[in-house]
Amino acid sequence: MAVDDTGSGFSSFAHIVKLAPDIIKLDIDLVSGIDLDPVRRSLATAVVAFAAETGAKVTAEGIESAAELACVKSLGIHYGQGYFLGRPGPLEALAGYQAERAVSPNPSR
């Protein structure tokens, strides 16, 4: 089970506690500018700690810059969504997108 929009007011912490979700999705309002705002980082850190204690994974929605991506990675957030990572498109384009970003097992490549 996933809880969406965490941090936006729609998904209260009481709901998260009652549901004990497998995935907690941080709302774009919390993620936007997280690299510049210590309050956003602090709240995201608390959610990551809660997730670690309960076995949940965290997804950051709305990653729109390299700085935001670096920040959410440094906080231990497991997954991300946002235009910086990829724009919506047809399913056929996903195969090409994944191939472009595949990590080579050969470090010299």
Q: Report DSSP letters for 54-94, one per residue.
A: HT-EEEE----SHHHHHHHHHTT--EE-STTT-----HHHH
User: Is residue 106 in some structural domain?
Assistant: no
Number of domains the chain contains: 1
Q: What is the mean pLDDT of residues 41-50?
A: 93
3-state helix, strand, coil in the chain (%, to 5): 45, 15, 40
Lowest mean pLDDT among 41-45, 76-80, 89-93, 98-102: 98-102
Instruction: Output the six-digit token pair for 85.
Output: 């990572």
Residue 16 confidence class, pLDDT cut points 50, 70, 90: confident
In a domain? residue 60: yes
**pTM, two decimal places:** 0.74
pLDDT band at residue 108, thresholds of 50, 70 and 90? very low
**108 occurs within a structural domain:** no
- Residue 71 maps to which CATH number? 3.20.20.450
Range with lowest mean pLDDT among 6-10, 17-21, 31-35: 6-10
Answer for the pair 59, 79: CB distance below 8 angstroms, yes or no.
yes
Q: Which long-range contacts (CB under 8 A, 24 or more apart) does 81-90 make?
A: 82/28, 82/31
